[in-house]
Amino acid sequence: MTTPYDGLPRERYWKASAAGADAAAVAFDSGRKFVFAKDTRFAPAGSCFAQHFARELAARGGHVLAVEARHPLEPPDRDLGYGAFPARFGNIYTARHLRELLEQALGERDPVRDFVLREDGRWVDQLRPRAVPAGFASRAHALADRDYHLTAVRRLVESMDVFVFTLGLTETWENVPGGYAYPIVPGAVAGTFDPALHRFTNARAADVVADLERVIALVAARNTGARILLTVSPVGLAATAEPRSVMVSTAASKAVLRAAADELVSHHAHVDYFPSFEIITGAWARGRFWAEGLREVSAAGVEAVMAAFMASRLSDLAGAPRAASAPPSLAGADPAAAFAAALDAECDERFLDRS
């Protein structure tokens, strides 16, 4: 007697898959819809884990777009946030934040101008409070830079071949009268929290699907050939505003995001999913891909994700040597310490846990 499960490929069976020697051997990505060439123009965005993907893809020879360049009159010794992402949007943790950014950039809604004065006298854009670490000299400068940034995002949408979006969170804070979401609660990095103006919301799977359907439509209207690759960040919540354990909130949030991604992939031929989340968090990994603290992904974890991605999606560059990509301030440091410092610096959420 036979069943539909007899004779399936090795990766369809748990026992064979869990015994794999590494992420590439397990064939996590065997269900892929499409692969890429070495000249494919990538536009990565999303949570702090997305920064690692963008940096490591570029280090391995991938073509990561850079559409927002430093102005020649800007001082080279000031940290102005160039290079972390194709445009200086900073970490985009939620599908709602992404949708609202694209709506502004593509003229579907008025630009949001929410600027606050920092203690050092510099102005901060509340929708990307750490994307420009040096801040702005004046409100007028901040306003002009936001308009420039939105123009850059529009160019990104129009020129990219693949938009890689890493879903990070479902929890967010919104400006009630303005009807827009923040990347992080006001007061954590800049500005002041006001319960009369700022409201907590936690997206459900249907909310995430609706936001990303809007994103897919916006991209398609400007770039008919663009493909979208979704992934879910394995990084846990630093803190939760829900009245429950942060561990429970992390599990709930990641389940919502993963379910939403699955639904979208099933509905759109040009939308696919890459299993970064599964590679890091799966039982097969036996916890070896977590950094100290068990929330962030270690350098070995990022390497496992990139090895699987290159082997499955970008085989033209799979054997290419990796170029050095550590920030200059970390050059010569112990590799593990350097990576830990980069993790700490790149994640906005760390400001939610004062400890």
**pLDDT number for residue 310:** 92
| d(C-alpha 43, C-alpha 132), whole Å | 19
pLDDT at residue 141 greater than cutoff 60? yes
| d(C-alpha 106, C-alpha 250), whole Å | 32
pLDDT at residue 317 greater than cutoff 70? yes
- CB-CB contact of 299 with 340 (8 Å): no
| d(C-alpha 95, C-alpha 73), whole Å | 34
Percent of the chain with pLDDT over 90: 64
Gyration radius of the chain over CA positions: 20
- CB-CB contact of 272 with 34 (8 Å): yes
Place of tokens 């085989």: 315
**pLDDT number for residue 266:** 97
| d(C-alpha 68, C-alpha 62), whole Å | 18
H helices then E strands: how many in the chain? 10, 10
Mean pLDDT of 23-36: 83
Structure confidence at residue 343 as a pLDDT band (50, 70, 90):
very low
**pLDDT number for residue 330:** 31
Beta strands in the chain (DSSP E): 41-46, 63-64, 115-117, 123-125, 162-167, 171-175, 180-182, 198-202, 227-232, 271-273
Structure confidence at residue 64 as a pLDDT band (50, 70, 90):
very high
List the structure tokens of 108.
Answer: 């579907």
| d(C-alpha 278, C-alpha 231), whole Å | 10
Chain segment 88-126, per-residue pLDDT in tens: 999 999 999 999 999 999 999 999 999 999 989 999 999
- For the question of whether the overall pTM of this predicted structure is more than 0.75, the answer is yes
Find, among 178, 167, 244, the residue nearest to 208 by Cα.
167
Percent of the chain with pLDDT over 70: 85
**pLDDT number for residue 335:** 45
